[in-house]
Structure 1
Amino acid sequence: MTESGDVDLLGALAYAELTAFLRMAEDASQLAPNLTDRAELGSLAVAEYGHFVLLRDRLAELGADPESAMAPFAEAFDSWHELTKPGDWLQALVKAYVGLGIALDFYREAARHLEPSIAPLVEEVLADQERSEFVVDRVRAALADDPTQAGRLALWARRLVGEGLSQAQQVAASRPQLAQLLADADQADIARLFAQLTEEHGKRMAALGI
């Protein structure tokens, strides 16, 4: 079986994708303003579920029990989703793009330290091009109609990131095997990591116009 840190990362990602599917499907059903948008976000939810299946199956191939691998991360992800439950459609879109995006950026960086045969799978499930195109189009259109929404959504995005980083710290403290994937990096690498996370977050915010 692969290293425990690798199993932790795949388990964390699998649960992240599963909860993303469930929450996107819920937001599509309850918050989408029309059937077209409901179908669009629903299709993204389906893609997230497909990613979950890939990760679950890979964990099983590696000799790990998928449920046991995901279980340590359930509380942190569930807490983040409860603390960042969107109140309207635009908040749901920003969460799907910005909130999940910065978390996936972190996991993408951690994946650089995985056993080489696992890394391509992680890259596949972390791709967010379809999510980007859909969300950017909808949020920009909404801001064109009502520019005053920008400030409210910017505050929401900061809350998403702040809550996400807080939960990530709890996970790292409780799962040292996962933290070890980055622990061998020197200070320059750590600085580069946070600079890259900040840069990518800034790009997403700029793309949305907030």
Structure 2
Amino acid sequence: MSVVATPSSWSPWSRRWLLVALTLFVLQLVVLYAMGRIPICECGYVKLWEGGVNSSGNSQHLSDWYTPSHIIHGFLFYALAWLLFRRALLAARLSFAVLVEAAWEVLENTPMVIDRYRTETMALGYTGDSILNSAMDTIFMALGFFAAARLPIWLTIAIALGFELLTGWIIRDNLTLNVLMLLWPLDAIREWQAALG
């Protein structure tokens, strides 16, 4: 039996929890708009992929080198929700994951965190996310969440490690390094990342 049922077979309670998740997602976008975040890239167009790490288009389009980090968020939030709310419906756990991701997306786009990114991480020109990019970050988190619900644990871990190694090798940044440099910046890592440029 599949872990994730089809939408037509979801119970009324599951549908209610999905509505909660959707409401939290919309609230994230409304708060970002109220904070003055731009809807799309100031360039005036939308790209499927932005490959430049320190470009003005990074964190502005549908996906970029930080998209794998948000998929890993989904893996991690699935595991955390499973540990905390083991008996809860999958849709209720998804709502928890969306709440955590939406809260991070809002916090990440505050002047305090933007300044921290600019001074302590490799994101020297970071000005915050567009609302579109932030929305996609949450959607990619949800995709990671549902993938973790269906995949064997070993495969989920292998994908996460693969994403971390790939982005670490290509752009000298990944979720692990990003969190480390935000919380406990190390000059050696900063210098290694700067050598990419």
The verdict on a shared fold, with TM-score over 0.5 as the criterion, is: no
Larger fraction in helix? 1
Q: TM-score, normalised by structure 1?
A: 0.30
Q: TM-score, normalised by structure 2?
A: 0.32
